[in-house]
Amino acid sequence: MQPESPSAPALADALIVDPFYLAISVDFEHDMPARKAVLAAYFAYSLDEAARTGRVLMPEDRELGLRDHVPRK
């Protein structure tokens, strides 16, 4: 499963030690490349969902990264 967002693998690398992400990827605890791939797919799905609901801004050049977009009051 290939993530569509270039940011997804970087998020997986950065958050691999977070207890929540360790818990949701426990089935892959003995296969780090697979664990990171599963997390990258999770982040890609989450980022796509956020884009569909207007909670993340993605520039046309997706290599530039992204940022959250939560309407401010």
pLDDT tens, 12-35?
Answer: 999 999 999 999 999 999 999 999
Give the span between the Cα atoms of 12 and 40, in whole angstroms: 5
Q: What is the pTM of this model?
A: 0.72
Instruction: Flag whether pLDDT at 60 surpasses 50.
Output: yes
Give the span between the Cα atoms of 10 and 36, in whole angstroms: 10
* 68 against 63, higher pLDDT: 63
CB within 8 Å of 56: residues ≥ 6 apart: 47, 50, 66, 67, 68, 69
- Which pLDDT tens digit goes with each residue over 42-55? 998 988 888 788 77
* 14 against 58, higher pLDDT: 14
